[in-house]
Amino acid sequence: MAGQGQDGERTGGEGAHRGVGASVRRKEDARLLAGRGRFIGDMRFPGQLEAAFLRSSLAHARIKAVHIPAHLRGRAFVHADMAGVKDILAKTGLPGFRVSAQPSLANGKVRFVGEPVVMVLAETRALAEDLCEEIEVEYEELPANVDMLRAAKDGALIHEDWPENVFLVSSIEKNFDDSVKNAPIRVTREVRTSRQCMAPLEGKGCIALFDRTVEQLTLWTSTQMPHIVRSGLAECLGLDTRKIRVVAPDVGGGFGWKGLLQPEEVCCAWASLKLDRPVKWLEDRREHLIAAANCREHHYVMTAYADSEGRLLGLEAEAHVDAGAYSVYPFSACLEGAQVVSNLPGPYNLPAYRCRTYSVCSNKPPIVPYRGVARTGVCTAIELMVDAVARAAGIEPYEVRQRNLVRPDQMPFTSITGKDFDMGDYPESLRRAFEMIDHEGIRARQKAGEADGRHIGLGYAVYCEQGAHGTSVYHGWGIPMVPGIESCGARLTPDGTLEVRIGGQSHGQSMETTLAQVACEVLGIDPDLVNVVHGDTAMTPYSTGTWGSRSAVMAGGAVASACERLAGRIARIGAHLLQAPMEAVTVRDAQVIGPQGSVTFKEVAATWYLAPQNLPADIDPDGLDLVAGYRPTVDTGTFSYAAHACVVAVVPETGEVEILDYVIVEDGGVLLNPMVVDGQIYGGTAQGIGTALYEEMVYDGHGQPLASTLADYLLPGAGEMPDVRIAHMETPSPNTRFGQKGIGEGGAIAPPAAIGNAINDALAGLGVEMTVSPMTPRRVREAVEAARAQPSAERQSAEGLAS
């Protein structure tokens, strides 16, 4: 737990350490901050056409006819025109899973507002939109499934060959014995998290073109997982994979929205082959909000059982996830539901557990795994519950958490759902958050009251975040991809500089910097002399891509493996040049160092490439260009964790909430680059604050989305961000190359829980307890009103004390 890697500690000055643990400045910023990034929106190919999609105006309807004027022939395409193109099928191998066939253009039926019905191509997007207006679609409207609880019971069938609107029911029962129901404390709560959109700065976009020189369909697309898109596209189009190249240029944030194969990508690829012209589609903000990128909509009914000291004895839950109309490729409609079942117990030592989760099909866009995936909803649910238990027990929520968290002496710990918590000190992270937020000071301040009449409240949330899930986690799912051994290509170039090539994609994770630091750590080469090549299937080895907080562990490990292998080959040539035995040389500081001297990488590379006559006859012919693989010693994933604590001020009359203080004590193991980790945490926290207080995609009773611009879909801005204070613990993972853990999603997991608990703490005196996110001013006002209208005796019995 040495405090290596503190920002600034190992940076600055000539010859400073620039490998693992250094806060090296982001290499990619040289182009991105100068406005010189190249995104899909910046790209144009000769002869390019732009696509606009005529999208469904109804949530659920049969298509009776599509009237396309004759002059649009060859410009406007419907499902029947794409004969031979297969539906997108994101199956799972889970028993009982129902497969939804997602056509790239609607086939006889529409299942959500915004589903593509007709693709129209023109020289410009504006013109294509003009042409869309000339097309008329006749619908026969069907009842829309908007509320997941009703949809699962008796809604009009969305996929008509299914018996009910449910993709999958997931359940678990562990040690649950009805005697637990006699526990002294029994608390039941209903928690709901609203549907959200992911809203990366850059929307989705793609350009498809046929490259005759290599006889490949090239899809330039804003994706997090080029190799997976390649496989999915090949399947839909019926092409050999070798016939497709997928390239992600600069990508302006993904958060999960760019971790799937999209119908629009299939359409553009098909049209480019059909017309032999480049075809581009650029998602605009309206399409993003109404037709796509939906996430997070969960509903929970939970009962927690505890002893009078607040120790959890059992948890019982029924959850619904509104998975939308289709199962997305490759993650399926059940990732959220399965994560709810397996993650709801959180970082707690829960003795008994029973949970059933319905992944419901609804007439809304497919739900997509968003940063944190189900864990944000799960953390909100369990952490609001822990506070409810604490209130029922009359004990500080902080103390109840301390009594239930898995302790360091129990590590490595197998949770009640079989999660292998690798290492860490959860109670210590919470204790430090308690100190940093000045718990005692806040409690004293609450007693004194605020001069401005506001109510202040203190809230905590703790979570652990499984990242870098490996084969053993995914193979049982039977979804279209299983992460396995991660590969990296490494090549010493003729001048002795280095290329490393990975199959993931960096779209904000700073991998062009951090992976260069890994190469530096192994070879001693300056990160500035390392190019990290990513996002292009033609140039990189296969990878499932960038998702699930996996790149620091997996790509980081793979780069280290490749550099180690390369070091061996460099050493052999170097040893020969130094006339030293192999055992006597080491590779350090981009040199081969022998007993009597050294040679630089530049000299080694020059020998291999430019003066092979100087190589020994028995040289390893495989040279200075290789691919190597990596997987952690235990592949069930790393478990980073954090405690969040915050103080809010609430005005009951207006419902206004101000975050006065926010602290995070996080353990990501060894940090490859502490500055980058902090950036990830800040960004995730901003999104978590959005979930907590602002973001909500509302639908009316007909399934019409009510937010189609950012005036209606509120995102937190700079003005809403508190000055988040971060402290690091660094418990190295025993299973990864440098002890690093995945932390990419964590910031987005806990804020709704911490802020929600703080708001409830602030308003506890008024008898208010909120359980729906986002906790908007309107919801706060209405909760205050409702509490005032309710007699206090009723309030007390609603507290759920069994005694």
| Contact set with other proteins (CB under 8 A) | 124-126, 129-130, 284, 286, 651, 653-656, 694, 708-709, 711, 714, 716-717, 719-720, 776-778, 781-782, 784-785
Question: Least distance (Å) from other proteins to the CB of residue 286?
Answer: 6
**Residues 666, 746: Cα–Cα separation, whole Å:** 9
Question: With the C-alpha atoms ordered 174, 175, 178, 180, is the resulting torsion angle positive or negative?
Answer: negative
Closest by CA to 536, choosing from 527, 545, 524, 547, is: 545
Closest to other proteins by CB, 475 vs 788, is 788
Closest to other proteins by CB, 467 vs 716, is 716
Question: Least distance (Å) from other proteins to the CB of residue 653?
Answer: 4
Question: Least distance (Å) from other proteins to the CB of residue 448?
Answer: 22
Closest by CA to 251, choosing from 43, 539, 52, is: 43
**Residues 726, 219: Cα–Cα separation, whole Å:** 40
| CB atoms near residue 668 (< 10 Å) | 31
Closest by CA to 313, choosing from 342, 343, 354, is: 354
Residue 16, CA distances (Å) to 8, 11, 138, 522, 728 in order: 10, 6, 68, 15, 22
Residue 589, CA distances (Å) to 17, 481, 561, 572 in order: 11, 39, 17, 16
Question: Least distance (Å) from other proteins to the CB of residue 695?
Answer: 11
Per-residue buried b or exposed e for 314-338, using 16+ beta carbons within 10 Å of the residue's own CB: bbbbbbbbbbbbbbbbbbbbbbbbb
Residue 760, CA distances (Å) to 55, 382, 497 in order: 42, 15, 57
Contact call for residues 219 and 206 (beta carbons, < 8 A): yes
Closest to other proteins by CB, 124 vs 796, is 124
Report strand pairing: 420-421 vs 413-414. antiparallel
Closest to other proteins by CB, 40 vs 585, is 40
Strand (E) or helix (H) holding 440: helix 439-448
Question: Least distance (Å) from other proteins to the CB of residue 797?
Answer: 24
Closest to other proteins by CB, 126 vs 156, is 126
Closest to other proteins by CB, 126 vs 610, is 126
Question: Least distance (Å) from other proteins to the CB of residue 129?
Answer: 6
Contact call for residues 643 and 430 (beta carbons, < 8 A): yes
Question: With the C-alpha atoms ordered 389, 394, 400, 404, is the resulting torsion angle positive or negative?
Answer: negative
Closest to other proteins by CB, 203 vs 732, is 203
Strand (E) or helix (H) holding 302: strand 298-306
Q: What is the dihedral of CA 505, 548, 280, 237, to 10 degrees?
A: 100
Question: Least distance (Å) from other proteins to the CB of residue 717?
Answer: 6
Please give the distance of CA 297 from its chain centroid, rounded to a whole number.
Answer: 15
Question: Least distance (Å) from other proteins to the CB of residue 708?
Answer: 8
Closest to other proteins by CB, 497 vs 776, is 776
Question: Least distance (Å) from other proteins to the CB of residue 378?
Answer: 26
**Residues 299, 359: Cα–Cα separation, whole Å:** 11
Closest to other proteins by CB, 72 vs 715, is 715
The pair of three-digit structure tokens given for residue 427, joined into one six-digit string: 């109670």
* Residues linked to residue 492 through DSSP beta bridges, in sequence order: 498
Closest to other proteins by CB, 276 vs 284, is 284
Which residues, 6+ apart, have CB-to-CB distance to 783 below 8 Å? 763, 768, 769, 770
Closest to other proteins by CB, 206 vs 334, is 206
Question: Least distance (Å) from other proteins to the CB of residue 55?
Answer: 11
Closest to other proteins by CB, 91 vs 286, is 286
Closest to other proteins by CB, 163 vs 719, is 719
Question: Least distance (Å) from other proteins to the CB of residue 776?
Answer: 7
Question: Least distance (Å) from other proteins to the CB of residue 165?
Answer: 31
Question: Least distance (Å) from other proteins to the CB of residue 565?
Answer: 51
* Residues linked to residue 699 through DSSP beta bridges, in sequence order: 705
Question: Least distance (Å) from other proteins to the CB of residue 691?
Answer: 14
Contact call for residues 573 and 619 (beta carbons, < 8 A): yes
Report strand pairing: 725-729 vs 657-667. parallel
Report strand pairing: 294-295 vs 109-110. unpaired
Residue 4, CA distances (Å) to 68, 523, 551, 733 in order: 65, 20, 21, 15
Where residue 238 falls (left for φ over 0; alpha for ψ -120 to 50; beta otherwise) is: left
Closest to other proteins by CB, 50 vs 202, is 50
Question: Least distance (Å) from other proteins to the CB of residue 54?
Answer: 12
**Residues 583, 148: Cα–Cα separation, whole Å:** 66
Strand (E) or helix (H) holding 206: strand 205-211
Closest to other proteins by CB, 412 vs 777, is 777
Closest to other proteins by CB, 548 vs 716, is 716
Question: Least distance (Å) from other proteins to the CB of residue 111?
Answer: 23
**Residues 166, 113: Cα–Cα separation, whole Å:** 19
Contact call for residues 719 and 205 (beta carbons, < 8 A): no
Question: Least distance (Å) from other proteins to the CB of residue 199?
Answer: 14
Question: With the C-alpha atoms ordered 376, 320, 345, 669, is the resulting torsion angle positive or negative?
Answer: negative
Question: Least distance (Å) from other proteins to the CB of residue 496?
Answer: 48
Closest to other proteins by CB, 143 vs 717, is 717
Closest to other proteins by CB, 557 vs 690, is 690
Q: Could you tell me how many helices (H) and strands (E) the chain has, helices first?
A: 19, 33
> What is the 3-class SS of 656-709, one letter each residue?
CEEEEEEEEEEECECCCCHHHHHHHHHHHHHHHHHHHHHCCCCECCCCCECCCC
